[in-house]
Copies of this chain bind each other. A is one copy, B any other.
Amino acid sequence: MPSLFIRYLPILTWGKTYNKSALTNDMVAALIVTIMLIPQSLAYALLAGLPPEAGLYASIAPILFYAIFGTSRALAVGPVAVVSLMTAAALGKIVDQGTAGYAVAALSLAFLSGSILLAMGVFRLGFVANFLSHPVIAGFITASGVLIATSQLKHILGIKGEGENLIDMVHGLITHISEVNFITLTIGVLATAFLFWVRKGLKPFLRKMGVVGTLADVLTKAGPVAGVVVTTLAVWLFGLADKGVAIVGAVPQSLPPLTMPSFSPELLKQLLLPAFLISIIGFVESISVAQTLAAKKRQRIDPDQELIGLGTANLGAAFTGGFPVTGGFSRSVVNFDAGAETPAAGAYTAVGLAIAAVALTPLIYFLPKATLAATIIVAVLSLVDFSILKRSWAYSKADFAAVLATIVLTLAMGVEIGVSAGVGLSILLHLYKSSKPHIAEVGLVPGTEHFRNILRHKVETTPSVVNLRIDESLYFANARFLEDRIYDRVARDKGVRHVVLQCCAINEIDLSALESLETINSRLSEMDVKLHLSEVKGPVMDVLKRAHFLSELTGKVYLSQFEAANALR
Residues of chain A touching chain B, judged by Cβ–Cβ distance below 8 Å, are: 127, 129-136, 291-292, 294-296, 298-301, 303, 391-392, 394-396, 398-399, 426-427, 430-438, 471-473, 475-481, 483-484, 487-488, 490-492, 494, 504-505, 507-508, 510-512, 514-516, 519, 523-524, 526-527, 537, 539, 543, 546-547
Given A301-B487, A494-B298, verify A523-B134 contact (CB < 8 Å): no
> Closest CB of chain B to A79's CB: distance in Å?
25
Given A480-B130, A523-B291, A526-B295, verify A391-B431 contact (CB < 8 Å): no
Q: Is the CB of B392 within 8 A of A511?
A: yes
Name the prevailing secondary structure of the A interface residues.
Answer: helix
Given A476-B426, A487-B301, verify A436-B511 contact (CB < 8 Å): no
- Residues in chain B near residue A436, CB distance under 8 A: 127
**What is the bound-complex CA distance between A471 and B537, given in angstroms?**
10
Number of copies of this protein chain within its complex: 2
- Residues in chain B near residue A299, CB distance under 8 A: 491
**What is the bound-complex CA distance between A392 and B398, given in angstroms?**
33
Q: Is the CB of B526 within 8 A of A134?
A: no
- Residues in chain B near residue A516, CB distance under 8 A: 134
Which of these, B398, B487, B507, contacts A510 with CB under 8 Å? B398
- Residues in chain B near residue A491, CB distance under 8 A: 294, 298-300
In the complex, the chain B residue whose C-beta lies closest to that of A400 is B511
> Closest CB of chain B to A487's CB: distance in Å?
7
Given A127-B481, A427-B431, verify A134-B515 contact (CB < 8 Å): yes
Which of these, B432, B434, B494, B547, contacts A395 with CB under 8 Å? B547
Q: Is the CB of B396 within 8 A of A130?
A: no
Q: Is the CB of A523 within 8 A of B130?
A: no
Given A300-B491, A427-B431, A527-B298, verify A511-B127 contact (CB < 8 Å): no
Among A130, A431, A434, A475, find the residue whose CB has the most chain B CB atoms closer than 10 A: A130
Which of these, B134, B481, B488, contacts A511 with CB under 8 Å? B134
Q: Is the CB of A478 within 8 A of B130?
A: yes
Q: Is the CB of A435 within 8 A of B396?
A: no
In the complex, the chain B residue whose C-beta lies closest to that of A492 is B300
Which of these, B131, B303, B392, B512, contacts A477 with CB under 8 Å? B131
Among A295, A301, A398, A436, find the residue whose CB has the most chain B CB atoms closer than 10 A: A295
**What is the bound-complex CA distance between A457 and B460, given in angstroms?**
36
Given A431-B131, A432-B127, verify A510-B295 contact (CB < 8 Å): no
| Interchain residue pairs with CB less than 8 A apart (27) | A127-B436, A127-B477, A127-B481, A129-B480, A130-B476, A130-B479, A130-B481, A131-B431, A133-B477, A134-B511, A136-B476, A291-B487, A291-B519, A295-B524, A295-B526, A298-B491, A298-B494, A299-B491, A300-B488, A303-B480, A391-B511, A395-B543, A399-B511, A427-B427, A427-B431, A433-B508, A434-B473
